[in-house]
Structure formats: C-alpha cells, structure tokens
Amino acid sequence: MTPFTIAIDGPAAAGKGTISKAVAAHFGFAHLDTGLLYRAVGARMLTGTEPVQAAQTLTAADLQSDQLRTPEVAQAASKVAVIPEVRAALIEFQRAFARRAGGAVLDGRDIGTVICPDAEAKLFVTASAQVRAERRFLELQAKDDTTTRAQVLADVIERDARDSERATAPLKPAADAVIIDTSDLSIEAAIQAAIAAVTPRMELRT
C-alpha cells in the first residue's frame, strides 16, 4: 500500500490520543503518540539528563515507562518541546514513521504543520480549557492524585500558552486541517467524526 499519513494535532486532554488510536485501528494503520517522545525526554530531564542529549539518545524502552503520564512529566515535556535542538533530534524519527508502508497515524502538536505538512489527511482535535481540565482532573482522581481542579485548570492554561506561543512549531491547526471540537461530543461521536473526515481522503487514493 502507498504510504498514507493521518496527522492529528491538538492541545492536551482534547481526546486526540484516544481518537488517534481508534482511527488507526479502524483503517489498520500504525499509530505513534509523538507526545510520548517529548514526555520521555522530559522524564529523563527530571532525572538529570540534559534535554538535547536525552533526545539524541532516546530508545524505544524510554517510551514504555509507567511514569510518562504524570503531571510533572507533562510539564517537563512542554518545556523541552520549545528547545529547537530537541525538536530537530526527534523530527526524522517521526517522519520516517509517517511514511512507513501500510499507513500511519501520528498525533501531537505540530504533525500537520511541521512534521508532515504533506499528510494526506489532517485533523485538529480541540475542546475548551475547562472541559479538558475536568477530564484530566478525573483521570488524576482515579489514580488517587491530590491535585485540585483549580491546579489542573491552571496547568492546562499554562501549557496551552506555552505550546501556542513558542517560537518553534507553535500549536495551531494546519490551514487544511478538519477541526473537531470534542467539548460536547461523546468519545464515540468524536471518533466517528474523525473517521468521517478521513474516509473521503482515503477514497481519493484508491
């Protein structure tokens, strides 16, 4: 099969990870959560490794850590993601994955704008800061985390600002991306909206 890339971008807790996995499963494509690359670099930074070195020496094992979903690592990931040398070290890995035979779904912050600007299908999954903060708060509560709603909302707003205002590859929809706002959608409805947006692009290639 000719390579077919689906780029899915969006802010934290908008649902893009869940949607991306479901879209990949639906079309039989490989899936890469590119945020894990930055989380892994951030996690290694927290243990004392210099960020650029961490990015250049990243291994598949680093992506398997159970600690990559903590709020501390999320903040660290957002901080290392503004470092141009870190981004450069990770770009080729992502682009090679995107053009693999059999199709690929990549989700992140700059897939449709920087990593794969020529992707055959592009989606931008978003939701209001309040909705995303509530989702993240409930996730943390399930893990007996003591973080408050106010703290989670502040973290979401801070990360949004850092991601969208950074000089290198800021978070924004690609000009030709389909916008999916999940604020008032069930996950099932959001997944169906994503599949419906990609299907016509797939049909153009067959």
Residue 11 is labelled as binding a ligand:
yes
Amino acid identity, position 6: I
For a pLDDT cut of 90, what percent of the chain falls above it? 76
The Cα–Cα gap between 202 and 194 comes to 12
Mean pLDDT of the chain: 93
Count of C-beta atoms within a 10 Å radius of residue 1: 10
Whether pLDDT at 77 is above 80: yes
CA distance 121 to 176: 9
143 annotated ligand-binding residue: no
Whole-structure pTM value: 0.86
Q: Which residues of 158-181 are buried (b: 16+ CB within 10 A; e: fewer)?
A: ebbebbeebeebebebbeebbebb
Q: Is 113 annotated as contributing to ligand binding?
A: no
- Residue with token string 């890469």: 32
Of 20-24, 66-70, 172-176, the range with the lowest mean pLDDT is 66-70
First to last CA, the chain: 10
Q: Known binder of ligand: residue 77?
A: no
Compute the chain's Rg from CA coordinates.
16
Neighbours of 67 (CB within 10 A): 12
Q: How far apart are CA 121 and CA 172, in angstroms?
A: 16
Q: What is the 3-state secondary structure (H, E, C) of 147-158?
A: CCHHHHHHHHHH
DSSP 3-state of 104: strand
In tens, the pLDDT along 22-59 reads: 999 999 999 999 989 999 999 999 999 999 999 999 88
pLDDT at 1 over 70: no
Give yes or no for a contact between 134 and 149, defined as CB atoms under 8 angstroms apart. yes
Q: Is the pLDDT of residue 87 over 80?
A: yes
Q: Are 125 and 135 in contact (CB under 8 A)?
A: no
Identity at 187, one-letter amino acid code: I
- Checking if the pLDDT of 72 tops 70, the result is yes
Is 18 annotated as belonging to a binding site? yes
- Confidence (pLDDT) at 37: 94
Residue with the larger pLDDT of the pair 76 and 59: 76
Q: Is 34 annotated as a binding residue?
A: no
Residue 182 is labelled as binding a ligand: no
> What are the phi and psi torsion angles at 30 (to 5°)?
-75, 155
Is residue 12 part of an annotated ligand binding site? yes
Per-residue pLDDT at 50: 96
> Is 13 assigned to a binding site?
yes
CATH of domain 5-205: 3.40.50.300
Length in residues, the chain = 206
Task: For the beta carbon of residue 81, count every other beta carbon within 10 angstroms.
Answer: 28
